[in-house]
Structure 1
């Protein structure tokens, strides 16, 4: 599930050994963990975006 962080986690805090995404950034994480973060107000569900093809981007 893709989430968007609504808060900035404290400096040095880690998620599975990696820094948390910054506030406003998106990341794909396991659905159970994502639902917990959304329910606690730390993150919101973010839509998956499809990359534009060369034709769609006008190049």
Structure 2
């Protein structure tokens, strides 16, 4: 069963490194279903984009700073 990797897995599988995130790999059905259930892979036809996977970020984008100068200081 072919699956598209949603995450990069460290280590090796059968002596070879795991494919990178976004790559499609052919695995035994039981192993592929386990990865899909764990959220580490998806069925290729289920993916919405055909290009590179979207960049993930752990933190939200920073809001612009709205600080004002302290009283009594000039803004030269």
Per-residue deviation, 1:19: 0.7
Which structure's residues are more often strand, by fraction?
Answer: 1
**CA RMSD after TM alignment:** 0.9
Question: Equivalent residue for 2:3?
Answer: 3
Q: Extract unaligned runs of 5+ from structure 2.
A: 46-76
Higher Rg of the two aligned structures:
2
Q: Using CA pairs below 8 Å that are at least 6 residues apart, which structure has the higher relative contact order?
A: 1
After superposing on structure 2, the runs of 4+ consecutive aligned residues of structure 1 that deviate more than 6 Å are none
Q: Extract unaligned runs of 5+ from structure 1.
A: 48-59
Query: How many residue pairs were aligned?
Result: 45
Q: TM (normalized to structure 2)? A: 0.56
